[in-house]
Amino acid sequence: MTVLSQGIKPRLVFPFSEDMARLCAVCDQEREEMNKAITDGLLLMPPAFAAGLAQWSSGDGTPGSDSYDGAANAAFVPADPDFGGCLEVVKLGSVQKLRYMGETPILPGCYLRVRARVKAVSGNLPNVRIAGWAGDGSGAHVSGLVEAGDAVSLTSYGEVVEVSAIIGTGARGGVDMAWGQEPVYGHFGIDLTGPIGGVVRIDDIIIEDVTSAFLRDMMDWVDVRDFGAVGDGVTDDAAAFAAADDAAQGREVLVSQGTYYLGDNVTFTTPVRFVGTVTMPQDKYFSLTRNFEIGAYIDAFGDEMLGFQKMFQSLLNNADHESLDLGGRRITISAPMDLQAIVANRTEYKQRRVIRNGQFYVAGDSVWEPDVVTSVATYDSGQSRTLTNVANVANIAIGSHVTGSGVGREIYVKDKNEATQEVTLSQPFFDGEGTQTLTFTRYKYVLDFTGFGKISSFVVEDVEFLCNSVASGIALSRAGVAFHIKDCHFNRPGHRAITSIGDGCQGLLIDRCDFKTREGGETAQDRETVAINTNANDVKIRNNRASQFRHFVIIGGANSIITGNHFFQGDAEPAGVRTAGILLCSAHCAASIDANYIDNATIEWSNEYEAKPDFTGGYSFSALSVTDNVFLSGHVASWFAYIVVKPHGANHYFTGFTITGNKFRSINGHMDRVDRIDTSFAELDKTKSKNIHVEGNTYHAVGEGMRNPLLVEHNQNSTARTWVVDTQGRLPFEWHARTVEAVVAKGKIEDSSGDAVHSMPYVEVEKGPNGDQVHLQWEVPVKGKVWVKVRMD
């Protein structure tokens, strides 16, 4: 069965141009109205028999062959009841030929159908078939080709029988004579075979272009409209899209002009090209598995932001791709993107997925303004991460920043229960016991993961966030492990660059990112923006750069590594205030701060994330290592210090820290010292401490360096039994002199007579009004010089 016998409607194509052929594939009406003779100037149809028989050969149709003009066995019949004008032929030989002597062109990629209607009039009943003669460019016969179609027997007189055959260059299904590329023309007609002596009548022979019948086989694409797609924006075309994908079998699917509504999920396993656009419900995903590219999604949905959202939705619903590559494109984002609402069928995702290589450009103003809600709530340190009896809880958004009396910095709403009027906090309050009015501020983020219960192993890589001073960057999910942000740029975030509202920062990695402020013209103390905050453990912040935020990073968990970063927070104010670049919010922080460039900023160590901040047991302030950093400041007040400890409760002390190999320098001003205790809430207990190692640091334009152990040279000019050795505040944090490791005489120790005294003194520690003196008690009054190695631990 040929393709024509299956009822396939012929269509016009342009064999010389792929683009024109694609255009014709879309324009059905034009293909039906146009034909080969008009478009290419080709003459396919032979003349009617009524025009004379001189162009009709009884041979091959070549020049010089016999024609039927004046032949004894042929005549023109002007008024046959079935055919009108027709040719009547008496079959005289074993093969009676009829060929049009005109040269019908054979074009690459074109397929011609030759048709003839025949009936027997009298005599023997012959067979009839379509036949031809293939000629090359020189006019010679091309041998070795099939030059006849299947024969049809005439079985009765007067019955009209139609025979046909298809001739073309390609050996496709339904082609009767596949001639290849060598023939450039043919002489076509019919053969009468079988018994001789019969009389037959032949209607005018028809030659027509049927290339479009083979269009789907010869082109590398299929059109969704050919599978029932309507493209009116209303009719559900999802089934038609699926059918086109099934039929394509690896070829490209064309979504031609129109707007196609898809009411269900659609996955393409073949490449897709979009001339028209697609619309679908937000909860339905659209997966282009063979061209999973941002350009394809933008073409599909006609909008950059929507294209990204549908591509992200597919990323979390398909295993064929692990990366959403923005292809270096700028994507305009006109509103915050709630990523979980985009992928509504997922509340958690734990497989590695990546967004990379592009730029988000924030547009709009008011849509990015934070939502601010005030509400009365009750806090009980016994339920340290829960607010109860929260009025107006329905209007408090998950991810809101909480502020109020006794509330530490960067505490967020991790979750809420409207039925019980409870809010779950990311961290405890250090105070705030009882009922008070709190403020809940919900910042707006370009990439907001807070709707997810858990996201793990997600990567954002080589992406620039152009926040335009209104939008914030990334908000992490409520829980998750090993979120990785690397080689990204956060340009002028409105409020926050990277926010953790819960434990989605467990094992967070932030590498080689650049954070640019919108607050460069503000004094340090008036800035509001924060680059990074974390709550969970095992965070690694490495090789980043940040300029003029209020805080670079706020660390809420333990076992953090902060290394290789450069952050600067200065301003032009004389004797200016400086804020914390690194803020450690747990006393037992177990943090390593190494090889950073800390410019006009401090390391602040507090315990503001403890619900009961008074020390009653445990490790107190401990497990901090500050090594090999560069500290630089300018135009600062003399009381400014690089390392500030701020206890929020009483009775705390040090149980282990290391400060070694650092370079401390001040320019355009002089600092009294590099270390300080902020006693806004409480003092440290300087009668206790252990495992303190502070040495190998350098100090320039700093009044007092700090060391532990501290080597003090004491010169006693007059004899005395008690020598008062003063550390002069050079122990770290002006600590008590709690231990003496060694006393070594520097030269002769002598009595009042000048005689050498060889006995050793005993020591008394923590003497003087500040506890920072050591008393050496000698057996007799003596004078001289000694080296005393004093420790604070």
pLDDT of residue 2: 29
Q: What is the pLDDT of residues 568-585, one digit of tens each?
A: 999 999 998 999 999 999
Cα three-residue angle 471-477-481, rounded to 5 degrees: 130
Is pTM beyond 0.85 here? no
The dihedral built from the CA positions of residue 672, 673, 679 and 685, taken in this order, carries a sign that is negative
Average pLDDT over residues 87-101: 97
- Secondary structure class of 41 (helix, strand, coil): coil
DSSP letter at 68? Answer: S
pLDDT band at residue 383 under the 50/70/90 scheme: very high
- DSSP state letters, 6-27: GTPPP----TT-HHHHHHHHH-
- 397 pLDDT more than 90: yes
Measured distance CA(689)–CA(695) in Å, rounded: 17
Task: Give the residue from 225, 219, 257, 221 showing the smallest Cα distance to 241.
Answer: 225
pLDDT, position 160: 97
Assess contact for 45 and 207: CB atoms under 8 A. Answer: yes
Kindly report the CA angle at 420 between 417 and 426, in degrees rounded to 5? 40
The yes-or-no verdict on residue 24 having pLDDT over 60 is: no
Work out the average pLDDT over 493-498. 98
Angle of the 304-315 helix axis to the 294-301 helix axis, nearest 10: 120
The pLDDT of 531-543, averaged and rounded, is 98
Confidence of residue 282 (pLDDT cuts 50, 70, 90): very high
The predicted structure's pLDDT at residue 213 = 77
3-state secondary structure of 239: helix
Pairwise CA distance, residues 225 & 241, whole Å: 9
- pLDDT value at 15 more than 60: no
pLDDT tens by residue, 674-728: 999 999 999 999 999 999 999 999 999 998 899 999 999 999 999 999 999 999 9
Quickly state the pLDDT bin for 588 (edges 50, 70, 90): very high
In the predicted structure, residue 427 carries a pLDDT above the cut 90: yes
Alpha helices of 15-80 — where are they, by DSSP H? 18-26, 28-33, 36-40
Judged against a pLDDT cut of 90, whether residue 228 lies above it is answered with no
Distance CA 386, CA 429 (A): 10
**Mean pLDDT on 378-401:** 97
For residues 148-159, give the mean pLDDT: 96
Q: Find the mean pLDDT for residues 769-790.
A: 97
pLDDT on residue 218: 59
What is the distance between the alpha carbons of residues 775 and 722, in angstroms, rounded to a whole number?
Answer: 6
CA distance 281 to 646: 52
**Number of residues in the chain:** 793
The arithmetic mean of pLDDT across residues 58-85, rounded, is: 96
Q: Which residues pair with 188 in a beta bridge?
A: 132
The yes-or-no verdict on residue 669 having pLDDT over 80 is no
The per-residue pLDDT for 475 is 98
Which of 276, 304, 274, 275 is CA-nearest to residue 291? 274
pLDDT digits (tens, 9 = 90+) for 619-631: 999 999 999 999 9
Radius of gyration of the chain, Cα coordinates, nearest whole angstrom: 46
Q: What pLDDT does 249 receive?
A: 87
pLDDT of residue 28: 39
Report whether pLDDT(480) > 50.
Answer: yes
Residue 747's pLDDT band (cuts 50, 70, 90): very high
Residue 29: is its pLDDT beyond 80? no
Asked whether the predicted pLDDT for residue 108 surpasses 80, the reply is no
Report the distance separating Cα 396 and Cα 392, nearest Å. Answer: 7
| Residue 489 to residue 516: CA distance in whole angstroms | 8
Contact of 192 with 89, CB cutoff 8 Å: yes
* Closest by CA position to 490, among listed 505, 504, 475: 475
Through-space distance between the first and last CA atoms of the chain, rounded to whole angstroms: 99
* Residue for token pair 């008393």: 775
Degrees, nearest 5: CA angle 490-495-496: 50
Residue in the structure block whose two tokens are 């209020």: 550
Pairing of strands 540-542, 509-511: parallel
248 — phi, psi (to 5°)? -65, -40
Closest C-alpha among 717, 692, 719 to residue 707? 692
Give the dihedral sign, CA 595/596/600/602: negative
The rounded mean pLDDT for the chain is 93
Instruction: Determine the average pLDDT of the residues in 337-347.
Output: 97
SS3 state of residue 149: coil
Task: Tell me the CA distances in angstroms from 119 to 95, 126, 449, one per residue in order.
Answer: 17, 10, 78
532, 601, 594, 534: which is closest to 565 by C-alpha? 594
Tell me how far apart the alpha carbons of residues 502 and 662 are, in angstroms, rounded to a whole number: 33
Q: Identify the band that residue 23 occupies on the pLDDT scale cut at 50, 70 and 90.
A: very low
The most confident of the ranges 20-34, 156-170, 441-455 is 441-455
Contacts with 664 (C-beta within 8 Å, 6 or more apart), sequence order? 631, 642, 674, 697, 698, 699, 700, 702, 705
pLDDT band at 16 (very low <50, low <70, confident <90, very high): very low
Residue of 76 and 21 predicted with greater confidence: 76
pLDDT value at position 216? 58
Percentage of residues in the chain having pLDDT higher than 90: 88
Sign of the Cα torsion 31, 32, 33, 38 reads positive
Residues of the chain with pLDDT > 70, as a percent, come to 94
Q: Judge whether residue 217 has pLDDT over 70.
A: no
Q: How far apart are CA 450 and CA 189, in angstroms?
A: 76
Structure confidence at residue 14 (pLDDT): 31
d(CA 255, CA 262): 12
CA-closest candidate to residue 401, choices 572, 493, 541, 533? 533
Q: Is the pLDDT of residue 593 over 80?
A: yes
CB burial of 543-575 (b: ≥16 within 10 Å; e: otherwise) equals bbbbbbbbbbbbbbbbebbbbbbbbbbbbeeee
Task: Tally Cβ neighbours within 10 Å of residue 698.
Answer: 12
The pLDDT tens digits for 240-265 are: 999 999 988 888 999 999 999 999 99
How confident is residue 33, by pLDDT bands cut at 50, 70 and 90?
Answer: very low
